[in-house]
Chains A and B, each alone.
Chain A
Amino acid sequence: MKEKFTILTSTCVPLPLENVDTDQIIPARFLKATTREGFGDNLFRDWRYDKDGKPNPSFVLNQDTYKGDILVAGKNFGSGSSREHAAWAIAGYGFRAVVSSFFADIFKNNSMNNGLLPVVVSPEFLAELFDSLKKNPATAVTIDLPNQTITNNATHRIESFEINAYKKDCLVNGLDDIDYLLANQSKIETYEQSLGS
């Protein structure tokens, strides 16, 4: 069972860069583990720490200004490799949702399989949210998964977002695909028989 996701209100951490790829989220040299734990420590490693491992004060995660459970990023977030470690790192750090105007496909799937909600908003919503966060770092956002809405609580701009019914159901109930597929095993066997030869 994964943690259930219903309604989340939180302040945000802005990362206003486009095309943030999975090698930035979690560099390959940290992929050598054989468990799912501990990846949060190396989230955005090469932006967050300098060569000697000292925190880089200009990177947002090292500042006290922005805190919260929601990461807000520029378009095409999570492009590149299929490494689920990227989702584990973001979730492991403590984020529960990522807001962007565009996500890479595999990243989106991987996030949802780990209880991390990718919320796709319009470019206008995103630009306004970055702006709100700049003006007031304490700006909170409410994500209502059952009703599929996201609200910028500073401007009260509200937008609905897309998520397919099956995935939503999984997230709201903390279930995953394997639970579903195992329950459907007989259909798989019927399918295989139908292939015959």
Chain B
Amino acid sequence: MGKTLFEKIWEKHVVDTLPDGTIQLYIDRLYCHEVTSPQAFAGLRERGLKPFRPERVTCIPDHNVPTLHQDQPIADPVSRNQVDTLEKNARDFGLTYYGLQHPKNGIIHVVGPENGLTLPGMTIVCGDSHTSTHGAMGAIAFGIGTSEVEMTLATQCIMQRKPKTMRITIDGQLKPGVTAKDIALYIISRMTTGGATGYFVEYAGEAIRNTTMEDRLTICNLSIEMGARGGMIAPDQITFDYLKDREFTPRGTEWEKSLAYWKTLYSDHDAVFDKEVTFHAEDIEPMLTYGTNPGMGMGIRENIPSLESIDEAGRVSFMKALEYMGFKDGEPMLGKTIDYVFLGSCTNGRIEDFRAFASVVKGRKKADHVTAWLVPGSWMVEKQIRVEGIDKVLTEAGFELRQPGCSACLAMNDDKVPPGKYAVSTSNRNFEGRQGPGARTILAGPLVAAAAAVTGVITDPRELIK
């Protein structure tokens, strides 16, 4: 019997198997950010240990960083302490550190792929659930807790159960005006937030094969929002072209050797998945969410589900979500006034997202009452925005570009949406309070966000890009 892509990589990284099936898994790369690592480093010190393979660890502060005036010390002393702690830990233990203002600083899940730190066939972990992003390169990448960060630092291994495998196939071709984010929000709305729990997902099918590398990063990024351990896409020519000549991509004969191996990384035609799900690309519309988890999504022209359509056990949570959002069941979303727009995050903070956003706002003006935060995912993205002149398009339309970081995605810095205000966000979570206490988040892709930013209301972007 053939093997799945997941199994090929997983089996190569098994150090030991316990009698009950628990696996000691070798980890090729560990990414650390400032929020989920301090206690791991402290634990390491308490045990008198040092990182076992420091060359496999990269540390980048991203969650707490302000998106203005990064050349000055962080004003919030608690945030500053966390960032300083990461820098100190990296220095004390001889780990690579890309601090604020460093040309390679940015959101870890943006920086890793764009520098070739993330490669096909790797096992990658980070104390962050959106580590699933890196699976887009054909890697096994997943989020872990701080205890596991400590384990990886100490031994380059973690103890894991082998997850079940699921293949999600998207047949056919996307309609114009539908983005990778819409694919992901569509899948999650069908699967629900817990629908893929226990599974590692491989995305396949014509619509996936036709995506760009950045689209794939967006799709894999959101795997966790349906509970999946991770998501991955088999590497192909698109992946190899993207990776060639990136800073840490192997070169010369090493490149040839790696390439030969990477080309073996696909699910064999007779491989068996524990679960198979198929969707059709033509069914996918520009999406947005109306509730307080990413599974509460709908096509932009649809109505919010009626209470009767929700199964009994879920009704209390459903109504609680709508009450929080200030919406009524059964009503449309089109035309609703919004207050904030956030373009950015590890989901949609890459150059293609800025291109998409700019394509809609070009020649238009930001709606007066809308506050817009446009936050590149990294300094490399920021630089590219300037190289392509996208910054000028944005400025002319009344927008300003901020400096890289997680920003309003989780509002640990100053970019907080005020209580009761509506934000159309290209990030990944619409949980209560995620973007600030009382903030109301509507998740969407960069085109929907751009259409909302210039009209001030929920608008189908296809009406603007006709």
Contacts and interface: CB of A to CB of B under 8 A. Distances in A.
Given A46-B432, A79-B194, A106-B129, A181 B437 contact: no
Chain A interface: which size bin? 35 or more
Given A32-B64, A82-B127, A178-B155, A109 B145 contact: yes
A63 to B, nearest CB: 18
B393 to A, nearest CB: 32
A176 B158 CA distance: 11
A181 B39 contact: no
A172 interface: no
Give chain B's interface secondary structure class. Answer: loop
A187 B36 contact: no
A105 B197 contact: yes
B151 A177 contact: yes
B147 interface: yes
Interface string B125-159: 00111010000000000011111101100111111
Given A35-B42, A187-B16, A80 B197 contact: no
Nearest to B198: A105
Contact of B432 (A24, A79, A181): A24
B78 to A, nearest CB: 4
Contact of B20 (A17, A35, A164): A164
A21 B433 CA distance: 11
B15 A187 contact: yes
A27 interface: yes
B389 interface: no
A36 B295 CA distance: 31
Interface in B372-399: none
Contact of B431 (A75, A80, A103, A187): A80
A23 B20 contact: no
A149 interface: no
A34 B147 contact: no
Given A36-B39, A164-B21, A165-B20, A46 B317 contact: no
Nearest to A194: B15
A102 B195 CA distance: 11
Interface residues of B, number: 69
A114 interface: yes
A63 B35 CA distance: 32
B216 interface: no
Contacts of B419: 51
B229 interface: yes
B221 to A, nearest CB: 13
B411 interface: yes
B15 A82 contact: no
Contact of B411 (A21, A29, A167, A177): A29
Given A46-B432, A84-B36, A187 B21 contact: no
A74 B38 CA distance: 31
Contacts of A27: 433, 437
A180 B20 CA distance: 15
Given A80-B431, A110-B145, A187-B16, A181 B193 contact: no
The listed residue with most B CB atoms (<10 A of its CB), out of A16, A182, A188, is A188
Given A32-B79, A80-B129, A182-B155, 18 more contacts: A17-B316, A24-B433, A28-B434, A34-B39, A51-B419, A51-B437, A74-B317, A75-B194, A76-B227, A84-B127, A87-B145, A102-B194, A105-B198, A105-B227, A177-B147, A177-B148, A180-B159, A191-B26
Interface of B: 15-16, 18-22, 24, 26, 35-36, 38-39, 42-43, 47, 49, 52, 63-64, 78-79, 81-82, 85, 127-129, 131, 143-148, 150-151, 154-159, 161, 163, 193-194, 197-198, 227, 229, 293, 295, 313-314, 316-317, 320, 410-412, 419, 429, 431-434, 437-438
Q: Which 3 A-B pairs have the closest CB atoms?
A: A165-B20, A110-B145, A34-B38
Interface of A: 16-19, 21, 23-24, 27-29, 31-36, 46, 51, 74-76, 79-85, 87, 102-106, 109-110, 113-114, 164-167, 176-178, 180-182, 184-185, 187-188, 191-192
17 contacts: A28-B434, A29-B437, A32-B412, A34-B81, A35-B42, A36-B39, A51-B419, A51-B437, A75-B194, A79-B227, A80-B429, A81-B429, A114-B147, A167-B22, A177-B147, A187-B16, A191-B26
